[in-house]
């Protein structure tokens, strides 16, 4: 039975990561072939996926959709998660794709654990573990190779792509840290559904000023894929994998996200990378495996 659950967890984790990676590549294609802005796409993604998650929770649970608002502390944390975690993580990721490409944006997003290490080090007023220091150094070297191709005199990424990519990593850290207490007390669908819906509110002026007539049939299909598969189902599979696997295992399997984004971008969009950039990306991704090493082994 345990082996069956582990196999199921691995399937969920890999499927969710593949959906996330594919949605980044689909977004890159959408930006290249239409006049759709990243701001509009982020707003649509948050609003529709949020409402779908809330509807799913409402149909599957006997609890009220508004139960999370009945406690002042949980309501405060939900607002913080929505506007300091969910919104910036979604916005920065798609802006990084818009100014760069999906693989690079996805890899830079994986700097999130490094920012978490730095935050916890400052908060605890204690030196990080030796393994954490190694992870930080490896991530910095990898980022340097990724954005410069090893050449100190030039950037291989546009400055805005680098800025938004680093912001994606930073917001990934806040996205991970902020909802911890909420997820311990409420269903994940309720927490994320409300956070996405709230996070879409600042985009309302953009959402309702965009003419849907300008979106082609292909573009509509790409948007649907991003909302359904790249957001709602990817989240569903990720949450389900945590029920069967240790977080460290899920973290390692999430490396399928940048691998998927890179493969699809190279195969279908003609995105190119130098060997040095590939090496840099592998350095960043290797921090996932370093962080999965047990503390005693560090």
5-16 tens-digit pLDDT: 778 888 888 898
Higher pLDDT, 85 or 291: 85
Q: Which of 65-69, 99-103, 115-119, 203-207 has the lowest mean pLDDT?
A: 115-119
Give this prediction's pTM: 0.81
Q: Is the Cβ–Cβ distance between 169 and 146 less than 8 Å?
A: no
241 Cβ partners below 8 Å, 6+ apart?
Answer: 9, 10, 12, 13, 16, 250, 253
Output the pLDDT for position 57: 93
Q: Which of 12-26, 84-98, 151-165, 225-239 has the lowest mean pLDDT?
A: 151-165
Residue 295 reports pLDDT greater than 60: no
Residue 101 reports pLDDT greater than 90: no
Output the pLDDT for position 298: 44
Q: How would residue 26 be classed by pLDDT, with cut points 50, 70 and 90?
A: very high
Q: How many helices (H) and strands (E) does the chain have?
A: 16, 0
Residue 108 reports pLDDT greater than 50: yes
Q: Which of 91, 89, 58, 92 is nearest to 176 (CA)?
A: 89
Output the pLDDT for position 297: 43
CA angle, residues 125, 288, 184, in degrees to nearest 5 = 65
Higher pLDDT, 241 or 45: 45
Q: How would residue 51 be classed by pLDDT, with cut points 50, 70 and 90?
A: very high
Q: Which of 4-8, 175-179, 248-252 has the lowest mean pLDDT?
A: 248-252
Output the pLDDT for position 62: 84
CA–CA distance, 82 with 162 (Å, rounded to integer): 24
Q: How would residue 152 be classed by pLDDT, with cut points 50, 70 and 90?
A: low
Q: What is the mean pLDDT of residues 162-182?
A: 85
Q: What is the mean pLDDT of the chain?
A: 84
CA–CA distance, 132 with 114 (Å, rounded to integer): 8
Output the pLDDT for position 27: 93
Q: How would residue 3 be classed by pLDDT, with cut points 50, 70 and 90?
A: low
Output the pLDDT for position 252: 64
Output the pLDDT for position 271: 81
Q: How would residue 214 be classed by pLDDT, with cut points 50, 70 and 90?
A: confident
Residue 144 reports pLDDT greater than 50: yes
Q: What is the mean pLDDT of residues 192-201?
A: 94
CA angle, residues 211, 212, 216, in degrees to nearest 5 = 125
């Amino acid at each position: 039975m345990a082996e069956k659950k582990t196999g199921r967890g691995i399937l969920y984790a890999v499927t969710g990561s593949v959906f996330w990676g594919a949605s980044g590549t689909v977004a890159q294609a959408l930006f290249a072939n239409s006049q759709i802005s990243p701001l509009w796409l982020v707003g649509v993604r948050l609003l529709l996926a949020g409402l779908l998650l809330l509807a799913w929770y409402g149909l599957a649970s006997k609890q009220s959709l508004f139960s999370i608002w009945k406690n002042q502390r949980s309501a405060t944390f939900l607002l913080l998660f929505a506007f300091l975690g969910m919104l910036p993580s979604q916005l920065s990721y798609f802006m990084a794709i818009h100014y760069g490409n999906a693989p690079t944006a996805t890899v830079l997003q994986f700097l999130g654990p490094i920012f978490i290490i730095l935050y916890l080090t400052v908060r605890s007023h204690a030196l990080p573990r030796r393994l954490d220091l190694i992870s930080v150094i490896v991530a910095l070297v990898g980022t340097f190779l990724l954005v410069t191709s090893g050449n100190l005199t030039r950037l291989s990424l546009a400055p805005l792509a680098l800025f938004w990519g680093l912001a994606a990593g930073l917001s990934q850290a806040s996205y991970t840290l902020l909802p911890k207490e909420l997820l311990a007390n409420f269903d994940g669908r309720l927490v994320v559904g409300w956070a996405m819906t709230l996070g879409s509110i600042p985009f309302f002026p953009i959402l309702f000023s965009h003419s849907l007539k300008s979106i082609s049939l292909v573009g509509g299909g790409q948007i649907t894929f991003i909302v359904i598969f790249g957001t709602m189902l990817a989240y569903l599979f990720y949450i389900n994998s945590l029920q069967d696997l240790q977080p460290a295992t899920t973290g390692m399997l999430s490396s399928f996200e940048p691998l998927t984004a890179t493969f699809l971008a190279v195969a279908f969009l003609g995105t190119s990378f130098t060997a040095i950039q590939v090496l840099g990306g592998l350095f960043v991704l290797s921090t996932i495996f370093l962080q999965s090493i047990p503390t005693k082994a560090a």
